[in-house]
């Protein structure tokens, strides 16, 4: 099921830089040292997170309350750490001056790596101070759907819409069987979120899945929605 990943310092893959000691990004992501990520450089700050697996990312959230909060943030998602393509959301300005989360919807995209670009900060020379002086708060998180193993018959287009009929066969753990029997479950072209499933000996259930598209081998990829 989709949930907040719970980003912490262990997810940090790489970054543009940090002030040490006392301004480390991994500790700011952990939220347990009582200091922000600090970098005294006038440039586009960035960091990359490694989620350890591919997720369908649909939301991000952030918060900060220093004199140098991020005020212009772009987010990228990819399975290739060297090539992120287009941003899934741009010009986030709501992560600053707050201790509560600011949650932002993004263009859904599957990926293992998250790149965060900070184009501007509250400091006139673009010094970054993302986090908190004193309070023990984490600073950034992403919302993603956990992948499941599926076998698919039918075809998918590159835009994740169906071509013809399709049945997805899912064998989840016994406790995760879909609760609602629905032999007439069908694809919704508008939402792209409902398919017919054949689970355990031919019983057909309706379950909320998101059809993402195709992998490099032409196989369909489905994630819990």
The predicted pLDDT at position 145 comes to: 74
Pick the CATH number of 3-145 from 3.10.450.50, 3.30.1490.190, 2.60.120.260, 1.10.10.10: 2.60.120.260
Phi, psi values for residue 184, rounded to 5°? -105, 15
Return d(Cα 11, Cα 24) in angstroms, integer: 14
| Residue 134, pLDDT score | 82
What would the DSSP string read from start to end of the chain?
Answer: --EE----GGGEEEES--BTTTB-HHHHHHT-SS--EEE--SS-EEEEEEEEEEEEEEEEEEEEBSTT-EEEEEEEEES-TT---S-SEEEE--SSSEEEEEEEEEEEEEEEEEEEEEEEESSTT--EEESBSSS----EEEEEEPB--EEEEEEE-TTS-EEEEEEEEE---GGG--S-B-TT----TTT--EEEEEETTTEEEEEEEEEEEE-TTS-EEEEE-
Q: Residue 189: what pLDDT? A: 47
pLDDT in tens, 26-83: 999 999 878 899 999 999 999 999 999 888 898 999 999 999 999 999 999 999 999 9
Local mean pLDDT, 10-residue blocks, the chain (225 residues): 88 96 94 90 96 90 96 96 96 96 92 96 92 91 70 36 36 37 42 39 38 46 40
Task: Give the pLDDT of residue 39.
Answer: 96
Given this model, what pLDDT does residue 12 score?
97
Please, are residues 173 and 148 in contact by the beta-carbon 8 Å criterion?
A: no
Q: Indicate yes or no: pTM above 0.85.
A: no
How confident is the model at residue 137, as a pLDDT?
A: 93
Question: How confident is the model at residue 147, as a pLDDT?
Answer: 52
Range(s) within the chain of domains with CATH label 2.60.120.260: 3-145
């Amino acid at each position: 099921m989709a949930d907040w990943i719970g980003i912490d310092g262990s997810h940090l893959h790489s970054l543009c830089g940090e002030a040490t000691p006392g301004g480390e990004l991994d500790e700011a992501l952990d939220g347990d040292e009582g200091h922000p990520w600090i970098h005294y450089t006038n440039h586009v700050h960035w960091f990359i997170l490694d989620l350890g697996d591919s997720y369908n990312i649909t939301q991000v959230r952030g918060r900060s309350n220093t004199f140098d909060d991020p005020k212009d943030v772009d987010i990228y998602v990819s399975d290739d750490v060297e090539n992120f393509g287009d941003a899934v959301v741009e010009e986030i300005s709501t992560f600053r001056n707050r201790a509560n989360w600011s949650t932002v919807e993004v263009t859904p995209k599957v990926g293992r790596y998250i790149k965060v670009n900070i184009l501007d900060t509250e400091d006139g020379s673009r010094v970054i101070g993302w986090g908190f002086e004193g309070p023990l708060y984490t600073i950034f998180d992403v919302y993603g759907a956990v992948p499941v193993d599926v076998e698919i018959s039918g075809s998918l287009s590159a835009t994740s819409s169906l071509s013809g009929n399709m049945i997805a066969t899912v064998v989840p753990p016994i406790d995760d069987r879909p609760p609602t029997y629905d032999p007439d479950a069908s694809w919704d072209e508008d939402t792209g979120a409902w398919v017919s499933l054949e689970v355990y000996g031919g019983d057909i259930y309706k379950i909320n899945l998101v059809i993402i598209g195709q992998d490099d081998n032409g196989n369909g990829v489905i994630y819990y929605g």
